[in-house]
Amino acid sequence: MKLRLIRETDVLRHICQYLDQRGYFFTRLNNIAAPGRSLPKYALKGLPDVLILWKGIMVCVEVKRPSSQEREPNGRTVRGGKLSLYQAEFAAKVALNDGVYFCVHSVEELDKNLQGLRHERGIEGTPRQIYGSVN
Protein backbone atom coordinates (compact mmCIF):
# COMPACT_ATOMS: atom_id res chain seq x y z
CA MET A 1 0.00 0.00 0.00
CA LYS A 2 1.40 3.39 -1.02
CA LEU A 3 1.40 6.06 1.67
CA ARG A 4 0.12 9.49 0.66
CA LEU A 5 2.34 12.35 1.79
CA ILE A 6 0.63 15.16 3.67
CA ARG A 7 0.74 18.22 1.46
CA GLU A 8 0.86 21.80 2.66
CA THR A 9 -2.32 22.54 0.69
CA ASP A 10 -4.14 19.78 2.62
CA VAL A 11 -3.09 21.28 5.96
CA LEU A 12 -4.10 24.75 4.78
CA ARG A 13 -7.54 23.54 3.67
CA HIS A 14 -8.14 21.88 7.06
CA ILE A 15 -7.03 25.05 8.87
CA CYS A 16 -9.43 27.21 6.85
CA GLN A 17 -12.27 24.74 7.58
CA TYR A 18 -11.39 24.85 11.30
CA LEU A 19 -11.44 28.66 11.35
CA ASP A 20 -14.70 28.83 9.39
CA GLN A 21 -16.46 26.29 11.61
CA ARG A 22 -15.49 28.24 14.73
CA GLY A 23 -16.63 31.60 13.40
CA TYR A 24 -13.28 33.37 12.98
CA PHE A 25 -13.12 36.38 10.66
CA PHE A 26 -10.28 35.44 8.32
CA THR A 27 -9.12 35.45 4.75
CA ARG A 28 -6.83 33.26 2.71
CA LEU A 29 -4.01 35.26 1.12
CA ASN A 30 -2.44 34.28 -2.17
CA ASN A 31 0.47 36.56 -3.00
CA ILE A 32 1.89 35.03 -6.16
CA ALA A 33 2.62 37.05 -9.28
CA ALA A 34 0.99 36.00 -12.53
CA PRO A 35 3.29 34.07 -14.86
CA GLY A 36 5.69 36.43 -16.60
CA ARG A 37 4.80 39.33 -14.32
CA SER A 38 6.24 40.72 -11.12
CA LEU A 39 4.34 41.63 -7.98
CA PRO A 40 2.64 45.04 -8.11
CA LYS A 41 4.39 47.99 -6.51
CA TYR A 42 3.96 47.94 -2.71
CA ALA A 43 2.86 44.29 -2.71
CA LEU A 44 4.79 42.70 0.13
CA LYS A 45 6.77 39.51 -0.23
CA GLY A 46 6.44 36.91 2.49
CA LEU A 47 2.75 37.40 3.29
CA PRO A 48 1.23 34.64 5.44
CA ASP A 49 -1.22 32.09 4.08
CA VAL A 50 -4.07 33.20 6.36
CA LEU A 51 -4.92 36.50 8.00
CA ILE A 52 -7.26 36.53 11.02
CA LEU A 53 -8.71 39.61 12.69
CA TRP A 54 -9.67 38.58 16.22
CA LYS A 55 -10.84 41.10 18.82
CA GLY A 56 -8.66 43.82 17.29
CA ILE A 57 -5.57 41.61 16.97
CA MET A 58 -4.06 40.83 13.60
CA VAL A 59 -3.10 37.16 13.61
CA CYS A 60 -0.98 35.93 10.69
CA VAL A 61 -0.78 32.19 10.03
CA GLU A 62 1.87 30.63 7.80
CA VAL A 63 1.16 26.98 7.07
CA LYS A 64 3.99 24.53 6.42
CA ARG A 65 4.02 20.82 5.65
CA PRO A 66 4.68 18.68 8.72
CA SER A 67 7.89 16.68 9.05
CA SER A 68 7.63 12.97 8.44
CA GLN A 69 9.67 9.79 8.38
CA GLU A 70 8.17 9.08 4.96
CA ARG A 71 10.14 9.53 1.77
CA GLU A 72 9.29 11.57 -1.29
CA PRO A 73 9.07 9.76 -4.65
CA ASN A 74 12.69 10.77 -5.37
CA GLY A 75 13.83 9.10 -2.13
CA ARG A 76 14.46 12.23 -0.06
CA THR A 77 13.18 12.39 3.50
CA VAL A 78 10.11 14.60 3.87
CA ARG A 79 11.16 17.69 5.80
CA GLY A 80 8.76 20.08 7.43
CA GLY A 81 8.68 23.50 5.83
CA LYS A 82 10.55 26.44 7.27
CA LEU A 83 9.98 30.16 6.88
CA SER A 84 11.67 31.85 3.94
CA LEU A 85 13.77 34.94 4.55
CA TYR A 86 10.88 37.16 3.38
CA GLN A 87 8.41 35.35 5.65
CA ALA A 88 10.71 35.69 8.66
CA GLU A 89 11.11 39.41 7.95
CA PHE A 90 7.34 39.83 7.64
CA ALA A 91 6.83 37.93 10.92
CA ALA A 92 9.27 40.27 12.69
CA LYS A 93 7.46 43.36 11.36
CA VAL A 94 4.11 41.97 12.51
CA ALA A 95 5.51 41.40 16.01
CA LEU A 96 7.00 44.92 16.11
CA ASN A 97 3.50 46.26 15.39
CA ASP A 98 1.82 44.24 18.18
CA GLY A 99 0.42 41.65 15.80
CA VAL A 100 0.81 37.90 16.15
CA TYR A 101 2.49 35.51 13.70
CA PHE A 102 2.23 31.73 13.87
CA CYS A 103 4.00 29.19 11.69
CA VAL A 104 2.00 25.98 12.06
CA HIS A 105 2.12 22.45 10.69
CA SER A 106 -1.35 21.23 11.73
CA VAL A 107 -4.81 22.29 12.88
CA GLU A 108 -3.92 21.07 16.39
CA GLU A 109 -0.86 23.33 16.49
CA LEU A 110 -2.95 26.33 15.38
CA ASP A 111 -5.61 25.56 18.00
CA LYS A 112 -2.95 25.37 20.72
CA ASN A 113 -1.47 28.71 19.61
CA LEU A 114 -4.88 30.42 19.49
CA GLN A 115 -5.76 29.12 22.96
CA GLY A 116 -2.40 30.42 24.21
CA LEU A 117 -3.12 33.81 22.65
CA ARG A 118 -6.58 33.83 24.24
CA HIS A 119 -5.01 33.23 27.66
CA GLU A 120 -2.07 35.62 27.14
CA ARG A 121 -4.21 38.54 25.94
CA GLY A 122 -7.21 37.83 28.16
CA ILE A 123 -9.58 37.37 25.22
CA GLU A 124 -13.08 36.35 26.24
CA GLY A 125 -16.04 35.26 24.21
CA THR A 126 -16.20 33.61 20.83
CA PRO A 127 -14.91 34.94 17.51
CA ARG A 128 -17.34 37.09 15.52
CA GLN A 129 -17.56 36.20 11.87
CA ILE A 130 -18.76 39.05 9.71
CA TYR A 131 -19.12 38.57 5.97
CA GLY A 132 -21.16 40.56 3.50
CA SER A 133 -23.33 43.48 4.54
CA VAL A 134 -23.22 44.68 8.14
CA ASN A 135 -26.33 46.86 7.82
The number of domains in the chain is 1
| Digit-coded pLDDT (tens) for 79-92 | 567 899 999 999 99
Q: Is the pLDDT of residue 69 over 60?
A: no
pLDDT reported for residue 99: 97
Query: Considering the domain boundaries, does residue 15 fall inside one?
Result: yes
- Is 91 inside any structural domain? no
Q: Would residue 11 count as lying in a domain? A: yes
Instruction: Give one DSSP letter per residue of 4-47, joined into a string.
Output: PPPPHHHHHHHHHHHHHHTT-EEEE----PPTT-PPPTTPPSS-
* 22 assigned to some structural domain: yes
Q: Which domain, by its residues, includes 118?
A: 1-32+41-68+75-84+100-124
Most confident by average pLDDT, 36-45, 108-117, 120-129: 108-117
Please indicate, yes or no, if residue 89 is contained in any of the structural domains.
Answer: no
CATH number at residue 6: 3.40.1350.10
Over 60: is that where the pLDDT of 64 sits?
yes
**pLDDT category of residue 78 using cuts at 50, 70 and 90:** low
| Residue 45 placed within a domain | yes
pLDDT-derived band of residue 100, with 50, 70 and 90 as boundaries? very high
Mean residue pLDDT of the chain comes to 85
Reported as type and span, the H/E element at residue 115 is helix 107-121
Could you tell me if residue 27 is inside a domain?
Answer: yes
Question: Which pLDDT tens digit goes with each residue over 12-55?
Answer: 999 999 999 999 999 999 877 778 888 888 888 899 999 999 98
pTM: 0.82
Answer whether residue 14 is part of any domain.
yes
pLDDT at residue 40, as a whole number: 83
